[in-house]
Structure 1
């Protein structure tokens, strides 16, 4: 088998947490840094025990026995460097010993350790900045660190004992086998036979080298795995089976002997701790600072993210006479406008009018039409209730006045109908099943009939109706999936009973829930309640255990417990999976709409205000152009909040507009995308070229994805003004686009761009000095600058005309050539 020499196999990072302690060793060279708190480090057959504290840095040589026990909220970070890389870089390091224990030296003798800390931080930054795509760069940084170790921390006149390494190598094969097969029924005799040793000799090795019996070591490995699984929702019985214990009682007994509490008590304690603010782990803005102590050792922290100087050159030839397909511009079908009551706000209405004038959508969707603040279902003292559709009528009248058709979602549950009162957001929105299903159905029926009476059946047939909220809300525990299905089915039947031609959408499930979507549609088919459109949602988020990053997701009040996906084609890959399932199930002709989507589930992501968001919209709309029947970006305005509002102008909301109505870079992106022509000529990574009549439209973007740290809400270089340090490194892109077959003549070239260099409200605000309080004339200035940069010129064009463009990271451009 050919050896894997990729950077990913040569280096890896791991975070050490409390309860991870287990005596072990490995072939790799390990550089250990204490991020926060204190711990106890035992070395060399437990002969030495040291207290380690934040900022200590230690090197563990290959086959050096050690056990790190972090205390309380302590955390440590380890870099493992493979033997293969060590042998290639420095063959002699296999036989020498590195002596590096910073805690043994006073403050005045820490200079050489500070240099090592800086180099360690540089490697860590490169690894999680996705610079591992450039393995030469990452290897060079590791090489610098190793060079420092060999020249400044070599233990003079001391070499490794080959016989000791030999005996540990024999034992390593046994412990490696345990770590791979701990779920199985492993016995001492069976393990000894596997590694070609006698049972007595193997037992002796465990006692001599580890100070543990074989059984104790196996139990510790299983317990360490159990601790990890206790952070999930699995039962104790399932966890016991998963990690190799014969029964739940066996796990409970072993767990209590080691940790002093039962697994259930441990889970309860850690859930309580996780729910409390962690002063050492989070900053006031809600950002993790786990790595702050390390990252401050970078040589130039204020310039820690070195911007790329390399240009990626893209030479394209486009035959303008060849049309790939016609375009319908379905991304302009739907827009989300927050909650129904927000549409009665004059500021929000002004933003919608501006959007309709400058972009133009067909449908508008809002949540909370049935919320108590809409007062459509009012309880009386007698216990009965009255319908009142005054606010509902005002909301719908406004929608129709700006030529937007309603996308009506029957949500949430009026308190007078609710079986329970669970508030998923900091709004008067109740998530619940109805206490009496017939009363819910009577409300929905009355409301739909009211729509028809007021607006006419011909108009209402063009609307969209969603029977209830997303099924994923069952995660709050207020209803089961079976209860959800019954409510959806009966509500759908009630709407269709009024008029079978009314358009129903559902269920609003997450786009990566293919199994549930499949089961839902099969049930709909059997019970005659098939939706007219399949409604999905996509927030480019995943469960933390879906990736192996070694990082823990940092809890955040303004977000669900999901990490941002590392898949830059998340939307396209997820849609492909859904459509494949639909074809296999016989639902291939069912239209798919994206009723909600954004870059993450975090409502205080400061990157939402930056030019990153315009590139995000360009990338995802252009790469999935017309693949959905609608793409309802979430959401129109920062005025729509599901959490406590912020006084800051740029506070990381989802909106296209700030609370004050200032258009963000993402709004400018949609303005620019409206120039797309009727025919697609060419598309690829970073470009999309269309035509219409006598004009060519070229769309260019240089998208930069979040780095791995930020995807798990860890950051050390993000502030109100510094927001571009949390992305993967990307090169500047240089395009040479040859338009073959262009009719010669005089053309007008118009160029629009948005990026950190200009055209973005946030970046222009930075250029103004990031003022907190602005005078009216200053606000007017910022508003005038919150538009795409624009250039225009006329030029003589030949048959094979070349368009040149340079696109910086986070920048989007549109080039229009009009004859």
Structure 2
């Protein structure tokens, strides 16, 4: 069973899956809701058997023996309430029984159960909206639920039999031990000795209380663990050993008796379900429906949707004469432009020109310079291959024409060189090792020499060169890490053999891959090929198993199988670990750059178009200001994607611009960040204050993170137009900023804002009625309305001046005080 601790001593939620069908009990009171599908519920020593289906709600009293067997893709959600909380809330509840079984009543008698469903949904919402940070609120919501249960479903004539508690307590100790030690070679006699019982008595307890032998119960525990591990890439043999089976055949035999299929067959079926949305009953048009049935009950309770009610106050005293450090604005060093061939598109070039005119970056990175669509290395009819630099030259000529220096990544593998053809994306990009390493190195050498001949050695020395793709692509199984290392080292040698002053970056690994980064740097140091800059990537993503949320990651065709981290300071914390690692390994002076970063790895995240993204950029750039040598945001435009293009104007792409060139809120955020002065004078949670000659710049943001459901791509509350229901609840922030040390006089105050109330193209599009097609004049109107909101006024400023600001959730603001 997958569990997630909310408030460890009081509550926990758990999702029940088909493989969790095992007789058990616990001290907690359990409130269970059937999310989807059907199942069989057995209660009280198998005396009662019921069929349950979607929307049923049941209460299982403490120490009530039960087993739920969900069928197919069925799921149930359970809330466990601790005895301590129950005793504090209602001391007498420990000796009474609550009879809540909605499936025993017809539809016209469900009104009282709808109240419980609504309050259960309210408790769950408090969890996934992160209200569990406020224990008082969580406890009050659970208290409301308990009050309704006791008031409506208390069984007056039934009380718990104290005589049965001692035998159940003994059996509980036995089953708890099995759940902790199932990997070990456990025998009935050994377990009996451990908990100070006789073997015959313990065997009798299992048979009487659970209807199972000791061996059958232990086998079920091991099988449940095996099912969970089948979602990983471990072999069946490794899984058998991991969960305590004496052999692979023992696991296969037990698995087939329990589930009717072998572990291998089970894995194939479930892999198909996970990767084919059309065949997965939990996905409709790309939207998961796991919690839809439950959350619709929130509408029965008008108080269940909690909106921010109060302001969070921030009182700041800032000495404007004190400069913490000088700023270099490194976030403007690098921008990603997708794939090389896209840079030959006139619409994309127009977007880049606008970007350079209004913001201005130093470097531009693109992938796929060696892709077949660039015609760089083309095989002839005769079978031989020649170099052709025409398209490559056009791409680089354009970059340089708009004052962008190339960040050249040697990717991907031309088909004429590839050992095998693996396409990681829906583009003509081949992920492979070269069939012949010498031919790959000859191509790299020829290309670099061509750059020097065409653009001059002094110019090319200012460029950046990445020897190959990210090492994480080894996960596709087309090359090993050892092969990657041989290729990286050989390519690095080839580049430096041409000119030792050429700047090499690498390896492009995930920022939280500390083990690989350490091994890579040590190997490079020994191999005399240490990069000039350590290149990393950060998509705020984690493997689903890295967090204990109890949620299954919903499979999407447009994303890698990664969830969004719950750590709102993911990048800051990851960078801290990397810098610590560099110090420990003796590489403290090695510059660290982010060659790619964004909020997640999902290319159809509809929130990418909303004001959330502007706050995300503010937060992560300001929290890490100049701590990286470069921060290459991914990416410039929705036109450059790795999946099938969408005809929708706002389809959740990574870009700063829509396909048609409309600037999104994230683009407006970067425009506002350009106002940052040369010196930092204050920074903290939600604010960043800078200064330049004659001006103070105040940057404020109210960032809201994805809620727990959405981090695992459960899109129950998401539609094309309703996109703000998938975030943690945040209050409005009210800032009271006292600026000390200002030169008295008349100042001009300029206040810029981007948020749902204005300055966001998506939100303005909603205000227009979310039109599918727009005429040219309507498009121009929308673009004009998507400019940041601006208010101006003249002020008489004293030496100690107070600035007040109210910042709504998902809003960013910039306040500039300029002396006249």
Residue in 2 aligned with 1:795?
Answer: 795
Q: Residues 505 and 534 of structure 1 are in contact (CA less than 8 Å); yes or no, is this contact kept in structure 2?
A: yes
Structure 1 unpaired stretches of 5+: none
**Deviations 1:711-764, CA, capped at 9 Å, x for gaps:** 000121111110000000111100001011111111111111101110000011
1:143-292 maps to which residues of 2 (within 5 A)? 143-277=143-277, 278-284=279-285, 286-292=286-292
Distance in 1 between the 2:443 and 2:421 partners? 19
1:401-480 maps to which residues of 2 (within 5 A)? 401-480=401-480
- Aligned-residue offset at 1:188: 2.1
Residue in 1 aligned with 2:658?
Answer: 658
CA RMSD of aligned residues (A): 1.3
Distance in 1 between the 2:83 and 2:269 partners? 40
- Aligned-residue offset at 1:6: 8.0
Q: The residue matched to 2:316 in structure 1 has which SS? A: strand
Residue in 2 aligned with 1:11?
Answer: 11
**Deviations 1:86-108, CA, capped at 9 Å, x for gaps:** 11111111111111111111111
Whether 2:26 is the aligned partner of 1:26: answer yes
Distance in 2 between the 1:301 and 1:324 partners? 50
Q: The residue matched to 2:587 in structure 1 has which SS? A: coil
Residue in 2 aligned with 1:595?
Answer: 595
**Deviations 1:210-256, CA, capped at 9 Å, x for gaps:** 01111211121111111111111112232222222233333233223
- In structure 2, relative to structure 1, the CA distance for the partners of 1:567 and 1:178 (3 Å cut) is same
**Deviations 1:459-480, CA, capped at 9 Å, x for gaps:** 0000000111101111111111
**Deviations 1:18-54, CA, capped at 9 Å, x for gaps:** 1210000111111111111111111111111111111
Residue in 1 aligned with 2:483?
Answer: 483
**Deviations 1:261-295, CA, capped at 9 Å, x for gaps:** 332232223222323324531121x1211110111
Distance in 2 between the 1:654 and 1:521 partners? 31
Please identify, of 198-207 and 61-70, the stretch whose mean Cα deviation from structure 2 is larger: 198-207
**Deviations 1:503-555, CA, capped at 9 Å, x for gaps:** 01011001011111111111111111111111000000000000000000000
Distance in 2 between the 1:540 and 1:304 partners? 30
- Aligned-residue offset at 1:114: 1.2
Residue in 1 aligned with 2:571?
Answer: 571
- In structure 2, relative to structure 1, the CA distance for the partners of 1:6 and 1:655 (3 Å cut) is closer
Distance in 2 between the 1:305 and 1:6 partners? 19
1:500-519 maps to which residues of 2 (within 5 A)? 500-519=500-519
Distance in 2 between the 1:129 and 1:815 partners? 30
Whether 2:338 is the aligned partner of 1:338: answer yes
Q: The residue matched to 1:391 in structure 2 has which SS? A: helix
Structure 2 unpaired stretches of 5+: none
Distance in 1 between the 2:8 and 2:809 partners? 25
Distance in 1 between the 2:635 and 2:574 partners? 21
Q: Residues 710 and 726 of structure 2 are in contact (CA less than 8 Å); yes or no, is this contact kept in structure 1?
A: yes
Q: What TM-score results when the alignment is normalised by the length of structure 2?
A: 0.98
Whether 2:410 is the aligned partner of 1:385: answer no
Q: Residues 8 and 132 of structure 1 are in contact (CA less than 8 Å); yes or no, is this contact kept in structure 2?
A: no
Residue in 2 aligned with 1:43?
Answer: 43
Residue in 2 aligned with 1:75?
Answer: 75
1:657-696 maps to which residues of 2 (within 5 A)? 657-696=657-696
Residue in 2 aligned with 1:132?
Answer: 132
**Deviations 1:766-810, CA, capped at 9 Å, x for gaps:** 111111111111111100011110011111111110110000000
Residue in 1 aligned with 2:770?
Answer: 770
Instruction: Count matched residues.
Output: 814
Q: What TM-score results when the alignment is normalised by the length of structure 1?
A: 0.98
Distance in 1 between the 2:770 and 2:609 partners? 13
Q: The residue matched to 1:80 in structure 2 has which SS? A: strand
Distance in 1 between the 2:593 and 2:302 partners? 44
Q: Residues 413 and 434 of structure 2 are in contact (CA less than 8 Å); yes or no, is this contact kept in structure 1?
A: yes
- In structure 2, relative to structure 1, the CA distance for the partners of 1:471 and 1:6 (3 Å cut) is closer
Residue in 1 aligned with 2:812?
Answer: 812
- In structure 2, relative to structure 1, the CA distance for the partners of 1:458 and 1:421 (3 Å cut) is same
Distance in 1 between the 2:398 and 2:6 partners? 58
- In structure 2, relative to structure 1, the CA distance for the partners of 1:394 and 1:382 (3 Å cut) is same
Q: Residues 273 and 280 of structure 2 are in contact (CA less than 8 Å); yes or no, is this contact kept in structure 1?
A: no
Q: Residues 7 and 139 of structure 1 are in contact (CA less than 8 Å); yes or no, is this contact kept in structure 2?
A: no
Distance in 2 between the 1:283 and 1:246 partners? 42
- Aligned-residue offset at 1:305: 4.1
- Aligned-residue offset at 1:304: 6.3
Distance in 1 between the 2:276 and 2:370 partners? 33
Residue in 1 aligned with 2:361?
Answer: 361
Distance in 2 between the 1:354 and 1:586 partners? 42
Q: Residues 6 and 135 of structure 1 are in contact (CA less than 8 Å); yes or no, is this contact kept in structure 2?
A: no
Distance in 1 between the 2:666 and 2:118 partners? 37
Distance in 1 between the 2:264 and 2:75 partners? 23
Residue in 2 aligned with 1:724?
Answer: 724
Q: Residues 311 and 734 of structure 1 are in contact (CA less than 8 Å); yes or no, is this contact kept in structure 2?
A: yes
Residue in 2 aligned with 1:604?
Answer: 604
Please identify, of 536-545 and 369-378, the stretch whose mean Cα deviation from structure 2 is larger: 369-378
- Aligned-residue offset at 1:192: 2.1
Distance in 1 between the 2:305 and 2:363 partners? 42
Q: Residues 6 and 127 of structure 2 are in contact (CA less than 8 Å); yes or no, is this contact kept in structure 1?
A: no
- In structure 2, relative to structure 1, the CA distance for the partners of 1:279 and 1:269 (3 Å cut) is closer
- Aligned-residue offset at 1:300: 5.8
Q: Residues 638 and 655 of structure 1 are in contact (CA less than 8 Å); yes or no, is this contact kept in structure 2?
A: yes
Residue in 1 aligned with 2:100?
Answer: 100
Q: Residues 709 and 715 of structure 1 are in contact (CA less than 8 Å); yes or no, is this contact kept in structure 2?
A: yes
Residue in 2 aligned with 1:375?
Answer: 375
Distance in 2 between the 1:300 and 1:542 partners? 36
Residue in 2 aligned with 1:647?
Answer: 647
Distance in 2 between the 1:79 and 1:580 partners? 40
Distance in 2 between the 1:248 and 1:589 partners? 51
- Aligned-residue offset at 1:303: 9.3
Residue in 1 aligned with 2:52?
Answer: 52
**Deviations 1:67-123, CA, capped at 9 Å, x for gaps:** 100111111111111111111111111111111111111111111111111111111
- Aligned-residue offset at 1:581: 0.9
- Aligned-residue offset at 1:302: 9.8
Distance in 1 between the 2:660 and 2:6 partners? 50
Q: Residues 335 and 364 of structure 1 are in contact (CA less than 8 Å); yes or no, is this contact kept in structure 2?
A: yes
Q: Residues 305 and 725 of structure 1 are in contact (CA less than 8 Å); yes or no, is this contact kept in structure 2?
A: no
Distance in 1 between the 2:112 and 2:281 partners? 27
1:691-706 maps to which residues of 2 (within 5 A)? 691-706=691-706
